[in-house]
Amino acid sequence: MKNSTEKPTSRLQDYVFKLALLSIVWVVLMESAAPLHVLIGLVISMLTLLFVKRTLPFEPVTNIKWLRFAFIHGVLITEIYKAGFAMIKRVFLGGEVHMVPYTIELDSRFLSTIFCAWMTLTPGTIVTEIDGSRLTVLGMTAPGDHLLEAMEPGATDMVKLLRSCIINPDSATA
């Protein structure tokens, strides 16, 4: 929630910044800076900001080391490629599908959501349910392997990386 004593110009600047950022992302994804594409990007960005504000009232994300958070995405890309190559082998060897519960120890809802997105981006695993710190993960393993044992080292490393992004882990309430 926004502070009621915040100046309207500050909210306007915040809105314009978000609008510009979303529009730039749109132009990059469209790979075109034609006036029509820029205009469409602005309209879609405005609609996105309008609907997100009305339908997803997020709490402010605080106490996150944003620069560190940005850099750890390189680790994620590496994990995605490693899991992708391992998944190719599992598919050809006739892998087995398992659904297991998994508990994460992240006090921040924001970082827990990021962890679930990372887990789903990694080939061979999908987070199917989130209940606080308990997740249900669907995944494919090599024949005879157990999913929890196969995903534990990578998942533990991801949680450690995300925890390192918290400025004060004792007061992580975002």
Q: Where are the domains of the chain?
A: 8-55, 66-171
- The model carries a pTM of 0.61
Backbone phi, psi, residue 127, to 5°: -85, 120
Q: Residue 108 — very low, low, confident or very high, per pLDDT cuts 50/70/90?
A: confident
- Whether domain 66-171 has CATH 3.30.70: the reply is yes
Task: State pLDDT tens for residues 21-46.
Answer: 888 888 888 888 889 988 988 898 88
The DSSP string of 34-52 is: -HHHHHHHHHHHHHHHHHH
